[in-house]
Amino acid sequence: MEPWVVSTGLIFLYLIATIVIGVLANRRGTANMEDFFLYGRQAGFIVLYLTVVATFHSAFAFLGSGGFFYTHGIGFWMAGTWTVLVGAITYTIGTRIWALGKKFGYITPADMLADFYESEGVRVIVALVSVLFTLVYIQVQSAGLGYILSVATGDRISFELASAILLVVAAGYLMVGGLRAVYWTDVIQGIWMYVAVWGGSLLLTYKLFGGPVELWRRLAAERPDMLSLPGPEGFFTPGMWLGMTIALSFGIIFQPHMMIRYFTAASSKTLKLLGATTPIYLMTLFIPAAFVGLGGALILPDLATPDRVFPELLFRFAPPWLTGLILAGATAAAMSTLDSILHSNMTVLTRDVYQRYVAPDRSQRHYLAFGRCVVVVLLVVGWLLTVVNLDYLVVLVMLSGVGALQLMPGVLGVCYPNRERLTTGAGVVAGIGAGLVTLYLTRVYFYQPFGVHEAVWSLGVNFVVTIIVSQVSRQPSKATVERIHGEVERFVYGD
Amino acid sequence: MKIPRSHYLPRTRNGWIATVAFLVAMALAQPPIVHGVMNRIEPWVLGMPFLFAYLLLAYVIGIAVLIWAQRRGV
């Protein structure tokens, strides 16, 4: 049997499995918003663990991280820093978000922020930032999926058709089973991608070098520039290191598809255990990525597209069945992020826009039907963004990673009571605006002034503006502050 | 309910230990330490280049602090 038949067959087998899971999830679910959008707030540890790690690691973990090691050397091992920070953020902030969501019935991050700041402006800005800065991620994941399937089939299925097929499958099981289907498929995807990356990487490392130790020895002898900072191209400067740490820990956690996961936990103990242990999975996935990228730099030093290093090595040195299994794992990595982003955008648009401003007081079934329609629209928009190559998208993608980071002062103002000073709705809105403008300027016009990453600049300006404006604007009412901050106090320290 | 003290600072001994230990672990994995004295290939540690092994140790310490905090109910 030809290798492409094996690879493609395994990927389609995987896709069929996800559809079956979506149908089973639909049978277990009930027709209400909490169940469809939030898994009924009853996600246990294992399901939540695997959906969080699978959502956090996208196609980038499979393709991009290997490419980063290939190009910039050992500096990308800094990725471990942000994965450990993600655990700490979940432990400290995630648990507070969960407690407030459970007590006051929040479904989206905008629900929580608008309630505390008593501001519809905050709701609209947060919803807009949530949707706009993750919409382009649909395009990124969809493009990654199209690439994987077209490569696996030897271009017998075009990039456009491949991305369409995979988008339809992800949107399909989401529409049928809601967040329950997303979570159940993420369980498979989370296991599959971990085994695939480690299995493929170790096989290649032992086959090509005789093991990791020999790989390190050869690197030290032949490419010592790959084993020190700032790397062969001088990329990992101190400013870049610090900025990427902030952007890819807080920035990813404050994206709606991650924050909504906090609302779904069955208990605070589940979330604390999640925070303490997710870095184990997230961090260790970058070890095999290092073997692939650094090993690829020795074996295939002239790749035009560094992100292709893993599939290129597999096609040349691994048996077809294993290549198929691993590419299905790459598909899983991209789909688990894609379905979560589709879900979060569906939830935000349905809850924060449609239910709030367009059609309040309708039945639960009405909102579920509308949510499914939103998925169809996102599906079409995502596919069009994928196949119509627009230059400005490149800028948007660069900005998107830091966009959600701008919610940080607002979230801290809700979750961290402070006797001395209160954050206000006007402060949050002004801070987000100033942060986004700074982000654009320090990314596009004055690229990373003094070598400091745009995440640091934008977040710093955001905090300063938020604090200043909060001093001179109307504070949330005493009753609201006591209600919400009182709940945080009770949750963290008891009565 | 009134807030007796800011939530930005821990209120318990275990809270302080966990916070300081975690921040130290993260600081060990940040500039200028990683770009200075730890930016080297030798000495090799268990077959790994020094910088890689050093960062791995810093991450393991960070995770260990989180697990300790979870077990202590911080």
Q: Side chain identity at A363, as an amino acid letter?
A: S
Q: Which of A227, A244, A420 to mutate to test the interface with B (most CBs of B within 10 A)?
A: A227
Query: Cβ contact (<8 Å) for A229 and B34?
Result: yes
How far off is chain A from B9, nearest CA to CA, in Å?
10
Answer yes or no: is pLDDT of A399 > 70. Answer: no
Helices and strands in chain A: count of H runs, count of E runs: 24, 0
- ipTM at complex level: 0.95
* HEC letters along A265-315: ECCHHHHHHHHHHHHHHHHHCHHHHHHHHHHHHHHCCCCCCHHHHHHHHHH
3-state secondary structure of B29: coil
- Average pLDDT estimate for A2-29: 84
* A175, A150 contact by CB (below 8 A): no
Q: For A220-259, how does the pLDDT look when each residue is reduced to its tens digit (9 = 90+)?
A: 999 999 999 999 999 999 999 998 899 889 988 888 888 9
Q: Which residue has the tokens 């809270």?
A: B15
Phi, psi of A265 (to 5 degrees): -65, 145
Q: Cα–Cα distance between A145 and A387 in angstroms, integer?
A: 12
The CA R_g of chain B, rounded to the nearest whole Å, is 16
Which of A49-53, A180-184, A211-215, B10-14 comes out lowest in average pLDDT? A180-184
Cβ contact (<8 Å) for A276 and B39?
no
- Distance from the B45 Cα atom to the nearest Cα atom in chain A, whole angstroms: 10
CB-based contact B6 A488, cutoff 8 Å: no
User: What does the angle CA A346 – CA A352 – CA A356 come to, to the nearest 5 degrees?
Assistant: 125
List of chain B residues whose C-beta atoms are within 8 Å of the C-beta of residue A492: 7
* Residue B3 to residue A485, Cβ atoms within 8 A: yes
> Cβ of B7 and A216 within 8 Å?
no
Of A324, A22, A333, which is closest to residue A180 (Cα–Cα)? A22
Beta-carbon separation of B62 and A238 below 8 A: no
Asked if A482 contacts B2 with a C-beta cutoff of 8 angstroms, the reply is: yes
pLDDT for the residue A99: 96
Measured between alpha carbons, how far is B33 from B48 in angstroms, rounded to an integer? 19
**Which tokens go with A290?**
């290092």
Chain B residues lying within 8 Å of A209, measured CB to CB = none
Report the alpha-carbon angle A200-A180-A326, nearest 5: 10
**Rounded to the nearest 10 degrees, how much is the dihedral formed by the CA atoms of A243, A248, A253, A256?**
100
CB contact under 8 A, B49 and A80: no
* Burial of residue A388, with CB atoms counted within 10 A of its CB: 0-12 exposed, 13-18 middle, 19 or more buried: exposed
A209 to chain B, minimum CA–CA distance in Å? 14
Find chain A residues with C-beta within 8 A of B34's C-beta.
Answer: 78, 229, 241
Question: A282 to chain B nearest CA, in Å?
Answer: 11
Give the separation between CA A265 and CA A98, rounded to whole angstroms: 7
Tens-digit pLDDT profile for residues A149-179: 887 887 888 888 888 988 899 888 888 888 8
- Measured between beta carbons, which residues in chain A are less than 8 angstroms from residue B56? 77, 80
How many other CB atoms are found less than 10 A from the CB of residue A5? 14
Out of A74-78, A144-148, A245-249, A380-384, least confident range: A144-148
Among B5, B7, B9, B41, most A C-beta atoms within 10 A, so best to mutate, is B7
Q: How confident is the model at residue A75 (pLDDT cuts 50, 70, 90)?
A: very high
Residue A397's pLDDT is: 55
What token pair was written down for A464? 């300063």
Cα distance between the two ends of chain A: 67
Question: A265 pairs with which residues across the strands?
Answer: A43
Taking contacts as CB-CB distances below 8 angstroms, the residues of chain B near A224 are 41
Q: Is residue A278 predicted with pLDDT exceeding 80?
A: yes
**Residues paired with A117 in a beta bridge:** none
CB within 8 Å of B7: residues ≥ 6 apart: A415, A416, A417, A418, A488, A489, A492
User: Which residues of chain A neighbour B53 with C-beta distances below 8 Å?
Assistant: none
Q: How far is B30 from chain A (nearest CA, A)?
A: 7
- Chain B residues within 8 A of A493 when measuring between CB atoms: 11
User: CB contacts < 8 Å between A and B, how many?
Assistant: 129
Rounded alpha-carbon distances, angstroms, from residue B48 to A205, A346, B64: 14, 46, 21
The pLDDT tens digits of the residues spanning A281-309 come to: 999 999 999 999 999 999 999 888 788 88
- The tokens 């977040």 sit on which residue? A459
Question: In chain B, which residue's Cα lies nearest the Cα of A246?
Answer: B30
- pLDDT value at A38 more than 90: no
Amino acid identity at A220: A
Residue A48's CB is within 10 A of a number of other CB atoms, namely 25
Q: Is B10 helix (H, G, I), strand (E, B) or coil?
A: coil
Task: Please answer yes or no on whether B47 and A417 come within 8 Å at the CB atom.
Answer: no
Q: Of A422, A402, A405, which Cα lies nearest the Cα of A413?
A: A422
- The CA distance from A189 to A278, in Å, is 15
- Cis peptide leading into B43, omega within 30 of 0? yes
**Distance of residue B48 Cα from the nearest chain A Cα, in angstroms:** 7
* C-beta of residue A117 within 8 angstroms of C-beta of residue A410: yes
Sign of CA dihedral A487, A489, A494, B1: negative
User: Chain A residues with CB inside 8 Å of B70's CB?
Assistant: 91, 272-273, 275-276
CB-CB: which of B35, B39, B49 is closest to A220? Answer: B49
Q: Give the pLDDT confidence of A424-473 residue by residue, as tens digits.
A: 999 999 999 999 999 989 988 898 898 888 999 999 999 999 999 999 99
* pLDDT for B61: 97
Confidence (pLDDT) at A390: 55
| pLDDT at position A11 over 90 | no
Residues ≥6 apart with Cβ < 8 Å to B64 = none
- CB-CB contact of A124 with A335 (8 Å): no
pLDDT of residue A398: 59
Task: Kindly calculate the radius of gyration of chain A based on its CA atoms and give it in whole angstroms.
Answer: 22
Among candidates A144, A202, A152, which has minimal Cα distance to A320? A152
pLDDT digits (tens, 9 = 90+) for A130-144: 888 887 778 778 887
Distance (Å) from the C-alpha of residue B51 to the closest C-alpha of chain A? 7
Angstrom distance (rounded) from CA A185 to CA A408: 30
Closest CA to B65 of A283, A279, A235: A279
pLDDT tens figures, B5-48: 889 999 899 999 999 999 999 999 999 999 998 999 999 999 99
Residue with tokens 């504070």: A475
Whether residues B41 and A224 touch (CB distance < 8 A) is answered with yes
Q: Does residue A391 carry a pLDDT above 70? A: no
Which stretch, A56-70, A93-107, A233-247, has highest mean pLDDT?
Answer: A93-107
Task: Work out the number of other CB atoms within 10 angstroms of the CB of residue A393.
Answer: 17
The phi, psi pair for A286, rounded to 5°, reads: -85, -10
Residue A130: CB atoms within 10 Å: 28
Average per-residue pLDDT in chain A?
Answer: 89
In sequence order, which residues have a C-beta less than 8 Å from that of residue A5 and are 6 or more positions away?
Answer: none
What are A24's two structure tokens? 């089973």
What pLDDT is attached to residue A159?
84
Asked if pLDDT for residue B1 goes beyond 80, the answer is no
Which positions in chain A touch B63 (Cβ < 8 Å)? 84, 87, 276-277, 279-280, 283
Find chain B residues with C-beta within 8 A of A88's C-beta.
Answer: 22, 62, 66
Alpha-carbon span A106 to A295, nearest angstrom: 47
